[in-house]
Amino acid sequence: MRGDDQQQSHVFSYVSPEARVRKDHPLRAIRIMVDEVLTQLSRKFDKMYARVGRPSIAPEKLLRAQLLQMLYSIRSERLLMEEMDYNLLFRWFVGLNADDPVWDATVFTKNRDRLLEAEVAKEFLAHVVEQARARGLTSDEHFTVDGTLLEAWAGAKSFQPKDKTPGPPDDPGNPTVNFHGERRSNETHESKTDPDALLARKSEGKESKLSYSGNLLVENRNGLIVNAEVFQANGTAERDAALIMLEQIAGTKPVTVGGDKGFDTFGFVAECRNLQVTPHVAQNEKRRGGSGIDGRTTRHPGYAVSQRKRKRIEECFGWLKTIALMRKVRHRGVCKVHWIFTLACAAYNLVRLRNLTVPVPAA
């Protein structure tokens, strides 16, 4: 018997969002880990808000929503709130009932500075790493460092001389700018849209873009991100960030760190040894003065293992740029870019932890 094509919607629904989400949905395991971290951050949240006044949107809901934006590659916070309005899966993950109104997208902007000052993203990543460490999924001795360029939310037309006041544009929406034949550098020019972004290129022969330097410290056992830093793309940001992250490794026992040829400098190798870190970096024999390491390091089997394992960090960068949409960041200023990049690293770890801990059903 053919059913009727009824267009009238039901007035009442007796099914909760919890019942709509299947028991083996990947977000269930991630939600448990996220709730555990947010519980540990509850006291920090208490210090961020006043004790009196109108209640704000809970920071737990804001962070869950930001994680959803990265997990599902949603390009903007405005589109995120539009989807959350009619997506029961999103409502369940964030903690909204089916009839609860969603908040305006500008709430993220108003609360971002508060979350930024409290370094919530860094603490969130640290607690996720601690969960992995408690399950024996991380290595405390062997790491890999690397960096990548994050394209800034600023165009080439905004890169203008520092000491020159531009005249009124012929078209305010899309002005005509001709910079062909003009020598432009970070010393003489800066972006009027995002002054923290610097002109950089990935390698010889590539085009220069306004960018930031996103850097990761990854452990070698399961490729989990242990730490993250965002610097201005000044040419030495990768090595500077690597030393800062290596210095923050807990404990006093010696560790090893793998890296590509860009880290094979005498200065970086010497600083690593001062930190009780053995540099397992790829040798760059073509560099002036030769490689910073020799057979005393490369002869050990652990060096070959570090060089083989360091490829895992590229998987992290691939996920961050493709899924979390970090290829071109949508925030301006090195502090805000650092905050969102660190939270994206935590989202990557949550996905990895879910895949490592949830048993795969037999075919």
Tens digits of per-residue pLDDT, 329-359? 999 999 999 999 999 999 999 999 999 987 7
Please report, as a single letter, which amino acid is at residue 220: N
pLDDT at 8: 67
Is 245 within 8 Å of 217 (Cβ atoms)? Answer: yes
Convert the pLDDT of each residue in 166-223 to its tens digit: 767 777 777 777 777 778 888 888 898 999 999 998 877 788 899 999 999 999 999 9
Mean pLDDT confidence for 111-121: 86
pLDDT at 73: 96
Q: Which residue is associated with the tokens 């930024």?
A: 116
Q: 139-152+211-341 adopts what CATH topology?
A: Nucleotidyltransferase; domain 5 (3.30.420)
Structural tokens at position 248: 């923050």
Is 225 within 8 Å of 316 (Cβ atoms)? Answer: yes
Residue 96 to residue 239: CA distance in whole angstroms? 44
Mean pLDDT, the chain, rounded, equals: 89
Helix ranges (H only) for the chain are 17-20, 26-40, 42-48, 59-71, 77-86, 88-94, 106-117, 120-134, 237-247, 266-274, 295-298, 301-309, 312-322, 334-357
Convert the pLDDT of each residue in 276-328 to its tens digit: 999 999 988 888 888 888 888 889 999 999 999 999 999 999 999 999 999 99
Residue 188 to residue 119: CA distance in whole angstroms? 33
Name the residue ranges covered by the structural domains of the chain.
Answer: 17-117, 139-152+211-341
Q: How confident is the model at residue 362 (pLDDT cuts 50, 70, 90)?
A: low
Convert the pLDDT of each residue in 117-165 to its tens digit: 888 999 999 999 999 999 999 999 999 999 999 999 998 888 888 887 7
Q: Around 164, how many Cα atoms within 13 Å sit in the side-chain half-sphere?
A: 11
| Strand-pair category, 209-219 with 142-151 | antiparallel
Distances (CA, A) of 156 to 177, 322, 330: 9, 23, 16
Convert the pLDDT of each residue in 5-19 to its tens digit: 777 666 667 778 888
Q: How deeply is 313 buried, as exposed, middle or buried, from its count of CB atoms within 10 A (0-12, 13-18, 19+)?
A: buried
Q: Is the pLDDT of residue 3 over 70?
A: no
Mean pLDDT lowest among 23-27, 52-56, 162-166: 162-166
Convert the pLDDT of each residue in 60-95 to its tens digit: 999 999 999 999 999 999 999 999 999 999 999 999
Q: Is the pLDDT of residue 363 over 60?
A: no
Mean pLDDT lowest among 40-49, 94-103, 162-171: 162-171
Residue 26 to residue 76: CA distance in whole angstroms? 23
Residue 212 to residue 317: CA distance in whole angstroms? 14
pLDDT at 280: 94
Helix ranges (H only) for 118-151 are 120-134
Q: Is the pLDDT of residue 30 over 60?
A: yes
